[in-house]
Amino acid sequence: MSVHFTILGSGSGGNCSYLETGEARILVDAGFSPRQIRQRLATLGRTPENLTAILITHEHGDHVAGLVGIAGKLNIPVYCNRATKDAFEFSLKTRFHCHLFDTGASFDIADVQVDTFAIPHDAQDPVGYLIRTAAGNFGFATDLGYATKLVLDRIRAANVLVLESNHDVKMLQDCPRRAWSLKQRILGRQGHLSNEAAAEAAAEIMSADLRHLYLAHLSRECNKTELAHQVMTACLQKIGATHVQMQIATQDVPCKTLEL
């Protein structure tokens, strides 16, 4: 049975991905409005009513904005850790039916296995995921200040990797609309990966098994798709990773669906 994967959108204004296997239909994060999530799923011929689960990485609004209108109204099971649940229930002022896990634990959803791991970000208990399917492993590592040894170890098993490439350092430093404190937060060890840091992480975990790489969570103001593409392309060429197919996820339009 084939597996289908689509990043419905990724960036500072919202993040949401869709993974479909023979038995499971899963969202990773729900950071758009319920209407936007519904519309983007509709481009795939899918509806929120048929979702099996929603996995949440952390409680920031660009990852949970659609939870009330999707999980809350439709009673879709939400998977997260306790600290994340408490944080988004407080901010959204709604209680949810959640399957709680301890960070670092693994669990099954229908025919997939989900491995969780800690990431360094300024949230309560943020996590990344490695979702193991019969067709291949899907890694998610976004919203992290730096790639820890643990993160690298966990995403090394991915055949498909969603990796943050948030900002160009010079563009961020020169941005007149960002306060100095915000710049320091983004550049810090609990902030976001730059294009160069993403390339370094990709080089560190590269293997013949990694076939598809998505650059995600690009900043609208402090990055450009051509810059992120240029930096990662140069890295892949330098290390001889010509087998890797790279795509850049955008905020406004879903990526082309990948079928494994």
Under the banding of pLDDT at 50, 70 and 90, the label for residue 1 is confident
Q: Domain-by-domain residue ranges, the chain? A: 4-252
User: pLDDT per residue over 88-112, tens digit each?
Assistant: 999 999 999 899 999 999 999 999 9
pLDDT of 122 strictly over 90: yes
- Exposure class string for 25-43: b at 16+ Cβ within 10 A, else e: bbbbbbbbebebbbebbee
Under the banding of pLDDT at 50, 70 and 90, the label for residue 234 is very high
> Which CATH superfamily groups domain 4-252?
Ribonuclease Z/Hydroxyacylglutathione hydrolase-like (3.60.15.10)
Q: Which pairs count as long-range contacts for 111-117, CB under 8 Å and 24+ apart, including other chains?
A: 111/21, 111/22, 111/23, 111/24, 112/19, 112/21, 112/24, 112/26, 114/55, 114/79, 115/154, 116/81, 117/150, 117/151, 117/154
At 99 the pLDDT is: 98
pLDDT of 8 strictly over 90: yes
Q: Residue 209 — φ and ψ, nearest 5°?
A: -80, -20
User: pLDDT per residue over 184-231, tens digit each?
Assistant: 999 999 999 999 999 999 999 999 999 999 999 999 999 999 999 999
At 97 the pLDDT is: 86
End-to-end Cα distance, the chain = 9
CB count in 10 Å sphere of residue 61: 12
Contacts of 224 (CB under 8 A, 6+ apart): 168, 171
- How far apart are alpha carbons 97 and 171 in whole angstroms? 41
User: pLDDT per residue over 133-165, tens digit each?
Assistant: 999 999 999 999 999 999 999 999 999 999 999
Q: Percent of the chain having pLDDT more than 90? A: 99
pLDDT of 2 strictly over 90: yes
